[in-house]
Structures are given as structure tokens and as C-alpha cells.
């Protein structure tokens, strides 16, 4: 009886977190993200499931999705993902020729004191049109298409499991250092994530139910390095949160099926989004098939209202597959959203299954 009360209390606490975060939507009209690379999903496995990975987060990409998931990792792991495209498929003539490149590398090491992780993100956009000058009559006006924007992020993370007879709880957090450069100016920032995951073997008819939550905080930043800028632009920091649930409808020796759902608030004032995904492992858990919907968007009619009067959905279909051998897993994902990187491949090394 006491165990059930503890479990219900944890669920209630997570609901309070979500409710408190929901109150913050009306306090800020800002939307989007000043750090574009944070909007790029890491790991083709998670991307193939629509990014519904907050309650799963059981591999090296947990550093980004939910650092508390590191507490479930028992052996050394590493993940690498590369995205490289010649040009963005856009119709705007001013954006033609824009290229992008994204690299992600992460590694985790479990110890008796918990699991430690490190990740590195590199994001580059090239071929950007630019103009230097005040007007068409400025003879010093210079234009071109060769400017680049780069972004680098380094993250340290930690997760620790708390084993009980009836439930497994993992707590974790991460700290990231970020730097962005564009057209001779640069800016730095810090980010912090804190989260938890609660796992239970069975809850009535639900198999392996999981509840995950992560709270994200991003520091303010100032653009600098340009001597002609008398008052550098100051951008405020922001907070956001992700809440997810997952369970396994089928668990067999040669077949397993996982369903996952995420509720996301990227930052104060931004739309609430829902992601959902499914993963099926076949052939003795060697071959995985995945499908998902990323960022179903709940549009808010009036920013002063906590409860939407109108709900709309904007779907983003994703799909993917994975192949697992003894020490490696190769994952592939396709994202059908406009302007999103279509193809993603990631490799994870370690004793995975």
C-alpha cells in the first residue's frame, strides 16, 4: 500500500511540474529557439520515433533527451550522428544554395557513483546571403552568398539510479556550454537540464510503464566582437520542459513493441506540442522498425489563456529502422517535415542488447 502511494505521489509531482510550467506560457510571447542545433533531434532511433524519447532515453543520446536516463545504462556506450546536405530544398531564391552540416558525438561511462556522459554538437549553415551597408546609395555596400553560421555545444551529464523493490527511479542533470558565430559577431551561453524517469516492471495490464520529465533552462546571452556595435544586443534566457510516458504492449523473446508519447513546451510562450512514436523489435531483437509523429502543434488563440479555445494539429511524420549486432547498432531515420534534414544515420557502440 505504501509503495503504491509513493508511485502515485511521483506521478502527482510530475503533474504539478507540468501545471506550473503551463502557467508560464502566458508570461512570454517569444517562440522558437535562439540555438537552432537544439531543435535537431539526436540519434536516428529517437528521430524515427518522432522524438518521443523522454521516458525511454536508455542510450548515449539520453544526454540530450533526458539526462536521468543515464542511470539505466550499465556499460560504456558511444553514439555518432552525421547530417550533411548539399543544399536546402527551398523555393525562396534568396535562400538557394544554402548548405548545412551537423555532427553529434556522445559517450557515457557507468561507475559505482553513477553514470557520467559527455557530448559534442557542431552545426554549420553556409552560403548565407548578406549585405553590409546602410542603403542602396551606400557605395561601400557589400553583398555576397558566402557567409556561414556556426554553433558548438559541449555538454556534461550525470545520472544516478535509485533501486526499490517495486520501482526503479533515476535522477539526472546536465550542463552545456554553447557558442554561436555569424558575420563577425559571436555569443556564448549556458544551458541546464534536470530530470527524472520512473520505471516499473508491470502496472496492472501495462508492461514496463515509464514516466519521464525534464526541465530545461537556457541562460541569457549577448552578441559581441563587433567594434561598430555600441550597445550589444541582449537576449533573455528562457525555460522549457518535456514530459513523456512509454510502455510495452508486447514483450516476448523474439518480439517486442514499445509505444511512447511526449508533451513539449520548448520555451515560455511557444506552442505546446505532442510527439508520439512506436518501435517494434523483430528477429530476436536484431531488427527494429519505427514510426512517429513529431511536433503536433497545439495553437494558442490568445496568449493570455492557459487553456486553448482552439486546438489544431500540424503533423510531422517520421520513420526509421535499426540493425543491432553484439557491439553496435546502426539506426536510420527519415523526417518528412519541410526544411528538416531528410535522412539521418547514427551508430551506437556498446553492449546494447
CATH number assigned to the domain comprising residue 63: 2.40.160.40
Q: Is position 233 within any domain?
A: yes
Q: How are beta strands 238-251 and 317-324 bridged, if at all? A: unpaired
- Cα(277)–Cα(264) distance, integer angstroms: 14
Q: Is position 95 within any domain?
A: no
Distances (CA, A) of 67 to 80, 285, 287: 17, 25, 26
Report yes or no: 197 and 169 within 8 Å, Cβ to Cβ: yes
Walk along the chain (353 residues) and give the pLDDT tens digit of each residue. 444 554 445 445 544 444 444 444 333 333 345 677 888 889 999 999 999 999 999 999 999 999 999 999 999 999 999 887 644 555 444 455 667 788 999 999 999 999 999 999 999 887 666 555 555 544 444 455 556 788 999 999 999 998 877 788 999 999 999 998 877 778 888 999 999 999 988 777 778 899 999 999 988 877 665 555 555 567 778 889 999 999 999 888 788 999 999 998 887 777 788 899 999 999 888 999 999 998 877 655 444 444 343 334 445 789 999 999 888 999 999 887 766 667 889 999 987 66
Q: Is position 19 within any domain?
A: yes
Q: Is position 330 within any domain?
A: yes
Report yes or no: 64 and 155 within 8 Å, Cβ to Cβ: yes
Q: What global pTM score does this model have?
A: 0.79
Report CA 286 to chain centroid distance, whole Å.
25
Task: Print the domain residue range for 329.
Answer: 2-84+106-120+150-349
Helix or strand run (H / E) with residue 14: helix 2-23
- Cα(327)–Cα(348) distance, integer angstroms: 8
Paired with 125 in beta bridges are 100, 149
- Cα(112)–Cα(184) distance, integer angstroms: 46
Phi first, then psi: give them for residue 65, nearest 5 degrees: -75, -45
Q: Is position 98 within any domain?
A: no
Q: Is position 135 within any domain?
A: no
Q: Is position 300 within any domain?
A: yes
- Cα(97)–Cα(145) distance, integer angstroms: 8
Domains contained in the chain, number: 1
- Cα(70)–Cα(160) distance, integer angstroms: 7
Q: Is position 47 within any domain?
A: yes
Contacts of 84 (CB under 8 A, 6+ apart): 100, 101, 102
Residue with cell 510502455: 247
Amino acid at each position: 500500500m505504501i509503495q503504491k502511494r509513493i508511485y502515485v505521489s511521483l506521478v502527482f509531482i510530475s503533474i504539478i511540474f507540468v501545471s506550473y510550467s503551463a502557467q508560464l506560457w502566458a508570461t512570454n510571447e517569444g517562440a522558437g529557439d535562439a540555438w537552432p542545433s537544439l531543435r535537431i533531434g539526436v540519434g536516428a532511433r529517437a528521430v524515427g520515433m518522432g522524438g518521443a524519447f523522454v521516458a525511454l532515453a536508455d542510450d548515449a543520446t539520453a544526454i540530450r533527451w533526458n539526462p536521468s536516463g543515464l542511470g539505466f545504462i550499465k556499460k560504456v556506450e558511444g553514439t555518432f550522428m552525421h547530417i550533411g546536405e548539399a543544399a536546402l530544398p527551398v523555393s525562396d531564391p534568396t535562400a538557394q544554395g544554402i548548405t548545412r552540416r551537423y555532427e553529434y558525438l556522445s559517450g557515457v561511462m557507468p561507475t559505482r557513483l553513477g553514470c557520467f556522459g559527455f557530448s559534442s554538437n557542431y552545426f554549420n549553415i553556409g552560403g548565407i546571403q548578406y549585405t553590409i551597408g546602410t542603403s542602396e546609395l551606400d557605395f561601400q555596400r557589400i553583398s555576397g552568398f558566402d557567409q556561414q553560421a556556426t554553433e558548438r555545444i559541449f555538454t556534461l551529464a550525470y545520472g544516478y539510479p535509485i533501486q526499490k523493490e517495486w520501482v526503479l527511479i533515476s535522477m539526472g542533470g546536465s550542463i552545456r556550454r554553447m557558442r554561436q558565430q555569424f558575420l563577425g559577431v559571436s555569443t556564448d551561453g549556458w544551458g541546464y537540464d534536470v530530470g527524472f524517469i520512473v520505471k516499473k516492471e508491470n502496472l496492472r495490464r501495462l508492461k514496463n510503464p515509464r514516466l519521464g520529465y525534464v526541465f530545461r533552462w537556457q541562460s541569457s546571452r549577448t552578441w559581441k566582437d563587433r567594434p561598430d556595435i555600441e550597445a550589444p544586443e541582449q537576449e533573455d534566457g528562457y525555460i522549457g520542459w518535456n514530459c513523456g510516458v512509454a510502455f510495452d504492449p508486447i514483450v516476448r523473446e523474439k518480439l517486442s513493441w514499445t509505444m511512447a508519447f511526449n508533451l513539449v513546451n520548448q520555451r515560455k510562450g511557444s506552442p505546446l506540442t505532442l510527439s508520439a512514436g512506436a518501435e517494434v523489435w523483430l528477429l530476436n531483437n536484431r531488427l527494429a522498425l519505427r514510426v512517429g509523429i513529431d511536433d503536433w502543434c497545439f495553437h494558442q488563440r490568445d496568449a493570455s489563456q492557459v487553456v486553448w479555445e482552439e486546438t489544431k494539429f500540424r503533423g510531422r511524420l517520421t520513420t526509421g529502422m535499426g540493425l543491432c549486432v553484439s557491439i553496435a547498432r546502426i539506426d536510420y531515420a527519415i523526417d518528412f517535415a519541410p526544411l528538416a534534414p531528410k535522412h539521418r544515420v547514427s551508430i551506437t557502440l556498446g553492449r546494447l542488447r
